Each structure stands twice: as C-alpha cells, then as structure tokens.
Structure 1
Amino acid sequence: MSTTLLIVPPFSDLCNAAFALRREVFVYEQKVPPEEENDADDLTATHFVAIRAGDVVGTLRLLDKPEHIKIGRVAVRQASRRQGIAKAMIHAAMEHARAAGRDRFYLTAQSDKLAFYEQLGFAAFGPEFQDGGMPHRAMRSYDRDTAQLID
C-alpha cells in the first residue's frame, strides 16, 4: 500500500487529523497528560502527515530553531507501525530542512526508541530525563560519512 507524505498548514483539516492522531497515540495510548500534548510550537511548526488509503496514519513536526531543526511529535497509528512510515516521514522532513540549507537535527526520543533513531543517524547524549511521564534521551544527528556528531 502506498503512502503519501505531505506538509500541511497548522489547523488545516489534515493537520487537525494529525493532532487527533497525536492525541490517540500520546494521550490515550501512552498516557501523556493532555495539557502537555499540544503547545504554542504547533502554531509555527512545519507539520508532516503520512496518508494511506485516505487516512492520516502518521505525523511529525519540525521546529526551526537558530541552533538546529528539532524533530518532534513523531506518531504513527498503532495498526500502521513497523511499515516504514516513521522512517519515511523523518527522511522527508530532514530532506525538506536540508533543501533550506539546514543540516543540524535534534530530537528527544523515548528511551525505548533509541535504536530506531540511531538507525537514522542520531546519537544520544546527556542523561535520561522524564517527559510526558516516560523516560527520554536527547539525540542529535551525525554525519554518516565522517561518523562525527554535528554540533
């Protein structure tokens, strides 16, 4: 089944479907406090959605910070996991940022997802911390050709 990846404006119908998916994954499934799920960054973020068979099955957002691009709120509907959707979204989001001349990426990953992000060129740093009631680690991208962290 093919997946379509789109950039959608905040609070468009597709972005609202992405917000509903985030609530489904983070609030209902992972028990993140509802007040922590949406924030002011949603107004300025670049939102990506993955669509299969007419349904939003994945989403993430990019925040353009002076020091890096922050990848966040990566969510895939439970029935659509392990099908390459998150990987495709992250690759597309990073290519989008690179096309704008940005090559430093940062994210905070749930600790049980570190290996997934390591496969995508990220390395954990700093201590584990709690976010949304779950352990997380900060991660940043590294240059695969030189194996050097991009600071």
Structure 2
Amino acid sequence: MNIKIAKTAKEKKQAYNVRTSVFVKEQQVPPEEELDEFDETAIHFVGFIDEQPIAASRLRFVEEYGKLERICILKEYRGKSYGRAMMEAMEATIKEKGYGKAKLNAQTHAEEFYKKLGYHTVSDEFMDAGIPHVTMIKELQ
C-alpha cells in the first residue's frame, strides 16, 4: 500500500470518500458527525492500492499529543496489515513534528488491535456517534 499525505483537493476528497464508505454507509454514523470543522486543519492520510484509495485517516495536534482520528480501511481490504501501516505512517509524522505521545479514541471492537500496537486504555467506555469507544495513548520512541 502506498500512503500519501493528502495535499490536493482530489486527495482530500479520496480520503473523505473512504471515510464516508466506512463510517457513514457501513457503520451508520450521521454524515454531519463524520465530516466536521477539524477536517479543514487536520493532516489527512490516504492509502492506495493500484491507485485506488482504500484507507484513510486524519491527524491533529491537541495539547502534547498527536491525535489519530478517523482511521479506516475499506471492508474488503481489512486483515491485510493496512491498518498497521496507516498507524505507522501517522506515528512517524507525529515524531517528525516533535511530539512524543499519540492519542486516539478507539471503537471498542478495535481496542485489541491498538493494544497490539502499543496503545493502552486510559478511559472508561463512552459513546461517540452511537458507537462505544475508549481513549488510548502511546508513548512514541
């Protein structure tokens, strides 16, 4: 998978399209909750297989953390380590920007995936867009 930071309007639209497929169509998140005011200033990542966008995420910097958000892989491409590759790309960018900690709000069904990548849970379960989540953090080397 080739991962790019979205620099053009076309690449951002590709990221939004992957997010819409996963979160709005598949998980029934209301569109107005999926695309929000933070999209304007976030760093957007898009993962491509043969020039087709199949993964997306965004990164913001909040307090002392790089905050990983909207991490998603199209259903037919899951289980092939593309999620890990997206996380590694985002973590590398966090370190490049001089931050030493990563934070994310994980859907509870994905909590074990993030634990395998070194994240640990720091919150009780909470609801976001009707889906149970937990907050997780990781100290980056």
**Letter aligned with residue 117 of structure 1:** Y
Report how far residue 143 of structure 1 moved: 5.8
Gaps of at least 5 residues in structure 2 are none
Query: What TM-score results when the alignment is normalised by the length of structure 2?
Result: 0.95
Return structure 1 stretches of 4+ with deviation > 4 angstroms.
Answer: none
One-letter amino acid of the structure 1 residue matched with residue 78 of structure 2: R
- For the pair 1:108 / 2:105, whether they are aligned, the reply is yes
Query: 1:15 Cα deviation (Å)?
Result: 1.2
RMSD: 1.3
Where does residue 50 of structure 2 map in the other structure?
Answer: 53
Q: 1:108: how far off? A: 0.2
Deviation at 1:54, TM superposition (A): 1.1
User: What 5-or-longer segments of structure 1 have no aligned partner?
Assistant: 145-151
Residue 142 of structure 1 and its aligned partner are, at CA, apart by 3.5
Question: What is the CA-CA distance between 1:72 and the residue it aligns to?
Answer: 0.3
SS of match in other structure, 2:11: helix
CA contact (8 A) 2:102 2:137 kept: yes
TM-score (norm 1): 0.89
Distance 1:88 1:143 in 2: 16
Residues 1:34 and 2:31 are matched in the alignment: yes
* In structure 2, distance between residues paired with 1:89 and 1:21: 13
- Matching residue of 1:77: 74
* Structure 2 CA distance for partners of 1:143 and 1:98, relative to 1, 3 Å: closer
Residues 49-94 of structure 1, C-alpha deviations (whole Å, 9 max, x = no match): 1000110000110001222110000010111111111110110110
Q: Percent identity?
A: 32
Q: Distance in 1 between matches of 2:140 and 2:67?
A: 16
2: CA distance, partners of 1:72 / 1:93 = 10
Question: Residue 134 of structure 1 aligns with which residue?
Answer: 131
| Count of matched residue positions in the alignment of Structure 1 and Structure 2 | 141
CA contact (8 A) 2:91 2:140 kept: no
Q: Measure the CA separation in 1 of the matches of 2:111 and 2:63.
A: 25
1:21 to 18, 21, 45: 18
Please give the secondary structure, in 1, of the residue aligned with 2:38: helix
Q: What SS does the aligned partner of 1:20 have?
A: helix
